Amino acid sequence: MLMDTPIHKDIVTLQSHILAQQDKNPQSTGTLSWILSALSISAKVIADHVRRARLEDVLGHAGADNVQGEQQQKLDVISNEVLIRTLGSREGVAIVASEENEEPVIIRNDTAGERRYCVLFDPLDGSSNLDVCGGVGTIFSILRQDRRASDAEASLLQPGEQQVAAGYILYGSSTVFCVSLGDGVDMFVLDPAIGAFLRVEEKLKIPVANKSYSLNEGNRLSFPEGYRDYLAWAQENGYSSRYVGAMVADVHRILLKGGVFIYPPTAKAPNGKLRLMYEANPMAMLIEQAGGKALAGLDSNGEAQRIMALKPKNIHERCTVILGSPDEVDHVVRHL
Ligand code: P6P
């Protein structure tokens, strides 16, 4: 009987999930829902480009220029354009900030009227994996516009705790949309047959422990001593290593299976490589909402420093990242 197969028991799309969340909050005006739906549309468009990247590349080489006569653009630039255009068409978006743009893009800055939001994103994180058909992703973070701020960038420099929503889209063996609106983490998979994201996990909880670490061991010799001590301890205790080299793919695996993702300070990146505003903060929100821990190392008093408590100084600043299962993060901190 078709209707009693699991998938049909309660088919919840991302769209209906967003509207249900909106209904829970009587004060909500639907502005945030429109922004999330813009991210959902962008995700489908980018997923289509990603799946066709090599083909478009091949097709592009045939003519050297695309149909508009433009030089074939790199996919992260295309993804950036898709996000800016789609979000720009939403009334509730004041400012967008992207890894691809040095300056924030001001969409609307009239100070009167509706509450407005700022959306920060890495349009195609790990795009170097595209050439080898590896996982790549989009990471997004949504803040309320701070109208008292002197300028666009100042309005964005809020600690991660201020995020109203955060999430990622993983373009992997399937297209996964993972999001938190501050009340747990929900996960959706794109069904290309109907063009909708269907919910596969509700209020996801990260496993408390899993003997698996994820970091680029090629940088080991330039890690601070505590990280090298942790690595030695983990290898003496039977840990496995998993590292895709794309944060979205590594964090997705850790959300589902547990473990710890680490990007320590290195010789090339003494403050860490990952960006605070649109990589570390959104991932930290998801991990904490799923019951995990997300740290930027130790603070000046030697205490664990939560990523989401950091006060940003500029929108492209970098930070150290230690995030994942609570027990696994504790093992790292114990060695720092
Ligand atoms: P490395 C991709 O370039 C990225 O920004 C993250 O997605 C990923 O976790 C990290 O950098 C990989 O960096 O130095 O190990 O290649």
The three-class DSSP label of residue 229 is helix
Ligand 1 atom 3, closest CA: 126
Given the CA of residue 245, which atom of ligand 1 is nearest to it?
12
Model confidence at 122: pLDDT above 60 = yes
Query: In whole numbers, what is the pLDDT of the chain averaged over residues?
Result: 90
Model confidence at 83: pLDDT above 70 = yes
Rounded distance between C-alpha atoms, residue 97 and residue 89, angstroms: 15
Question: Look-up: residue for tokens 């939403």?
Answer: 90
Mean pLDDT of 210-225: 97
Ligand 1 atom 9, closest CA: 247
Ligand 1 mean position, distance from CA 43 (Å): 21
Report the residue among 168, 260, 273, 276 best suited for mutation to probe ligand 1: largest number of ligand atoms under 8 A from its CB.
Answer: 273
Report the residue among 132, 213, 219, 247 best suited for mutation to probe ligand 1: largest number of ligand atoms under 8 A from its CB.
Answer: 247
> CATH 3.40.190.80: does it fit domain 212-334?
yes
Which pLDDT does position 63 carry in this prediction? 41
Given the CA of residue 266, which atom of ligand 1 is nearest to it?
14
Which of 70-74, 108-112, 155-159, 309-313 is the least confident region? 70-74
Q: Taking the model in full, what pTM does it have?
A: 0.93
Given the CA of residue 128, which atom of ligand 1 is nearest to it?
3
Measured in Å, how far apart are the chain's first and last C-alpha atoms? 57
Mean pLDDT of 101-107: 89
Mean pLDDT of 29-57: 91
Rounded distance between C-alpha atoms, residue 104 and residue 84, angstroms: 11
Mean pLDDT of 180-195: 96
Rounded distance between C-alpha atoms, residue 183 and residue 202, angstroms: 10
Residue 64 region by backbone torsions, left for phi larger than 0, else alpha for psi between -120 and 50, else beta: left
Given the CA of residue 261, which atom of ligand 1 is nearest to it?
9
Ligand 1 mean position, distance from CA 270 (Å): 15
The three-class DSSP label of residue 263 is strand
Which pLDDT does position 69 carry in this prediction? 43
Ligand 1 atom 14, closest CA: 216
Q: Which one-letter amino acid corresponds to residue 142? A: I
Kindly report, as residue ranges, where domains of CATH 3.40.190.80 are found in the chain: 212-334
pLDDT category at 316 given cuts 50, 70, 90 is very high
CATH code: domain 14-201 is 3.30.540.10
Kindly report, as residue ranges, where domains of CATH 3.30.540.10 are found in the chain: 14-201
Q: 216: Cβ below 6 Å to ligand 1?
A: yes
How would DSSP label each residue in 123-192?
EEETGGGGGGT--EEEEEEEEE--TTSSSHHHHH---GGG-SEEEEEEESSSEEEEEESSS-EEEEEEET
Give percent of the chain with pLDDT exceeding 90. 73
